[in-house]
Amino acid sequence: MALKWTQADDDVTAVTVTETGLTRPKVDGDLRRAVERLCDPGVITAVVQPIVRPADMVVVGYEALARMPGPPQNPPNWWLDVASELDLRRRLELACLVAAAEIGPPPEGRMLFVNASASIIADPAFLDLRKELPDRLVIELTEQEAVEDYERLRGHLASWLERGVRVAVDDAGAGYSSLRHVVELSPDYLKLDRELVRGIDDDPNRRALMRAVVAFAREVGTSVIAEGVETRAELEVLRDAEVHLVQGFLLARPGPPWGMIDRTGPSSFPFSELIDTSAPPWEDGEDEMRQALARVDNVLEACEIVVETVFRQGGLMSSLYLERNGELRCVAQRGLWQVLDGMPATAGITGRAWATGHAVIVDDVSLHPEYREAVPGVVSEICVPILVNGDSVGSLNVESLSPLSPDTATLTQSAARLLADRLGVIGVSLGNTRWQRAAHASVAISGLVAGRRLPQQVLHRLLDAAEMDSACLVTEEQVGPRIIAAVGPLAGSLLALAADELSSLSSLVGDIRSCYTAGDASGRGFVGTESLRTAGARAVVVLPLWAQRERFGTVLLAHSKPLRLTGDRVEPLELLADHAAAVLGATPSAYRPSPPAAH
């Protein structure tokens, strides 16, 4: 079975391919010696190929690809087949991974993707190599090696997830096993087989399948990577399908690390001419957006169209809030790993725009007294109210890592106006979802009895309602925040949070209802959450606890698998947290330690 260290040179076309992969070579003594030589230190080298966000052509990571010198001259998959015949597969795979480790971390905190088979993931030697690999590491699991015991594989992957590693399923859609990987392993990324991408611009069946895969990935909180992009027409179709990331010869061929990179920004990359090729100038795109909005009669779909359009016009981090029960609820976003939610009118620039009904444009956020730092590196921000029949029903917020241009202000205001026009027709109701599960949990919390186990019992009921697996309860003590209970597979990671991190997380929801992750694994997170992401959390909700108008704690909910969180999913949890706070706040002596005696 072959580990897919993709050969990007032209000589790959000279290798005969069967339905199961490269034809097996005839093994002899010379080939054994050649494989053993490849396993020697320094013989195998690694090149990298960028993985790019098609909306703005920004590089978010690189895939490490092995290069194996001959003779004979053959691609890595061929050599790995030979190694399998000679029982040298483990050694050769480890040599490939060592070569990837030796290139060092990508610049500017970008991710590094490395290929690994199911068996090598369990190898202690590979796990020992973790400290030599970059912090932001993604393991691509290929389908070329059969998996007979997924429970065991999940156990092996847990050791990597605890070390901040993310998981991708490679060649998704190429065969049954890769699809089962998706179901069984809940990966952060799906790398679509290049055969699904090739000629997608001329094949309606491939386009329909791509859209279905993207919709599935969005629902479960996974990002899609399309491999093998070779033409501009393919790239444009993938953009239209809202594929999250792309990779292929059109963007860049594999090369030395990190030689093809100008670290000053995406505009000077070799594929800079590809930026926004599918996004028309806003003057021309306004009619297109109006037509897209006219085709939907669902509020959430309409909001998704708006934030996606804004994001595609320049990679701007965009979030859209609508009023519900006197607070702003985030209903759609792009480019963020985590969002603040449940904002009152007094909360920051977003709340001001909604409350006043006037746009707020901030060229330098460091100078604005109402700006709240959440995403590191933000330079400027614009927030425009959504005015439906003269009433302010929400806000469209855009944040940028560089100064805002006049075009950005025009784009944001026009997008807000078009959305308001459509909402005037279809209404602004978001419906009532997830409430039944929260109601059952609320009844269960009402029946709990005060005692030392009360915090753990409350956390379990919250997790049932959230459909998440881990949580902790943080109380505010005189000496600072303290975790008094933690449950679930991520309990150790939650307990390991430092006091300053707990304080930072707690402060995020000082006067708002919640903050939570938004399903974009490559997006930017909030200050104070990176430790949880690194420690294996793939979804996080932060909820304040108030009892009798006193803030006494915070609940952190976390999930060890990708999970798409939205405002309609989190809002019932906020009400449930209020109920939990009332129960916990009424009996603090039942679970809190006694204060030290006075002397």
Give 409-444 pLDDT, tens digit per residue. Answer: 888 999 999 999 999 998 887 665 577 788 888 888
The one-letter code for the residue type at 235 is: L
Residue 159's pLDDT is what?
Answer: 86
Q: Which two tokens stand for residue 406?
A: 């006049």
The H or E element that residue 94 is part of is helix 89-102
Q: Which residue has the tokens 């070579």?
A: 25
Check whether 16 has a pLDDT greater than 60: no
Q: State the Cα–Cα distance between residues 234 and 258, nearest whole angstrom.
A: 26
**CATH number of the domain located at residue range(s) 282-426 in this protein:** 3.30.450.40
Check whether 399 has a pLDDT greater than 60: yes
Of 261 and 371, more confident: 371
Give 28-76 pLDDT, tens digit per residue. Answer: 678 888 889 999 999 999 999 999 988 777 788 999 999 988 777 888 8
Contact 168, 137 (CB under 8 A): no
Q: State the Cα–Cα distance between residues 132 and 140, nearest whole angstrom.
A: 17
Check whether 151 has a pLDDT greater than 80: yes
Check whether 111 has a pLDDT greater than 60: yes
Contact 398, 408 (CB under 8 A): yes
**Which pTM does this prediction carry?**
0.66
Average of pLDDT values for 204-218?
85
Please tell me what DSSP assigns to residue 343. Answer: B
Of 587 and 112, more confident: 112
Give 430-486 pLDDT, tens digit per residue. Answer: 665 577 788 888 888 888 888 888 999 999 999 999 999 999 999 988 888 899 999
The residue among 258, 244, 228 whose CA lies nearest residue 64 is 258
Q: State the Cα–Cα distance between residues 76 and 461, nearest whole angstrom.
A: 50
Contact 387, 415 (CB under 8 A): no
Contact 164, 536 (CB under 8 A): yes
Q: Which two tokens stand for residue 10?
A: 């032209």
Q: Which residue has the tokens 């069946």?
A: 205
Q: State the Cα–Cα distance between residues 538 and 142, nearest whole angstrom.
A: 21
Q: State the Cα–Cα distance between residues 465 and 79, nearest whole angstrom.
A: 50
The residue among 167, 157, 267, 183 whose CA lies nearest residue 223 is 167
Architecture in CATH of 435-590? 2-Layer Sandwich (3.30)
Residue 351's pLDDT is what?
Answer: 92
Which residues have CB under 8 Å from 20's CB, separation 6+? none
Please tell me what DSSP assigns to residue 215. Answer: H
> What whole-number percentage of the chain has pLDDT above 70?
83
Question: Among 30-44, 247-261, 489-503, 578-592, which stretch is predicted with the lowest mean pLDDT?
Answer: 578-592
Contact 181, 169 (CB under 8 A): yes
Residue 439's pLDDT is what?
Answer: 83
Residue 279's pLDDT is what?
Answer: 46
Average of pLDDT values for 491-519?
87
Q: State the Cα–Cα distance between residues 415 and 301, nearest whole angstrom.
A: 14
- Per the prediction, the chain carries an average pLDDT of 82
DSSP letters, 310-330, are HHHTT--EEEEEEEETTEEEE
Q: State the Cα–Cα distance between residues 309 and 551, nearest whole angstrom.
A: 39
Check whether 595 has a pLDDT greater than 60: no
Contact 247, 49 (CB under 8 A): yes
pLDDT-based confidence at residue 521 (cuts at 50, 70, 90): low
For 127, how many CA atoms within 13 A lie in the half-sphere containing its CB? 14
**Strand 338-341, strand 391-400: pairing:** unpaired
Check whether 140 has a pLDDT greater than 70: yes
Please tell me what DSSP assigns to residue 187. Answer: -
Give 350-389 pLDDT, tens digit per residue. Answer: 999 999 999 999 999 888 888 877 666 788 899 999 999 8
Which residues have CB under 8 Å from 288's CB, separation 6+? 280
Residue 525's pLDDT is what?
Answer: 61
Contact 143, 178 (CB under 8 A): yes
Average of pLDDT values for 323-332?
87
Residue 9's pLDDT is what?
Answer: 37
Secondary structure (3-state) at 276? coil
Secondary structure (3-state) at 460? helix
Check whether 575 has a pLDDT greater than 80: yes
Sheet holding 360-362, edge to edge: 327-334, 317-324, 391-400, 380-388, 360-362
Q: State the Cα–Cα distance between residues 255 and 261, nearest whole angstrom.
A: 10
Hey, where are the domains in the chain?
10-265, 282-426, 435-590
Q: State the Cα–Cα distance between residues 19 and 215, nearest whole angstrom.
A: 29
What is the 3 state secondary structure string of 188-201? CEEEECHHHHCCHH
In residues, how long is the chain?
599
Q: State the Cα–Cα distance between residues 317 and 400, nearest whole angstrom.
A: 6
Residue 593's pLDDT is what?
Answer: 53
Q: Which two tokens stand for residue 389?
A: 């029949």
Question: Among 46-60, 178-192, 556-570, which stretch is predicted with the lowest mean pLDDT?
Answer: 178-192
Of 581 and 221, more confident: 581
Please tell me what DSSP assigns to residue 149. Answer: -
Q: Which two tokens stand for residue 211?
A: 């859209």
Highest mean pLDDT among 68-77, 129-138, 285-294, 370-379: 129-138
Rounded to the nearest angstrom, the gap between the alpha carbon of residue 167 and the centroid of all alpha carbons in its chain is 11
Helices (H), 186-326: 194-197, 204-220, 232-240, 282-294, 299-312
Helices (H), 404-544: 406-426, 435-446, 454-466, 491-495, 499-508, 530-534
The residue among 187, 112, 196, 185 whose CA lies nearest residue 147 is 185
**Strand 189-192, strand 166-172: pairing:** parallel
Average of pLDDT values for 334-351?
85
- Which CATH number among 3.40.190.100, 3.20.20.450, 3.40.640.10, 3.40.50.170 corresponds to the domain 10-265? 3.20.20.450
Same fold, 10-265 and 435-590: no
Residue 268's pLDDT is what?
Answer: 36
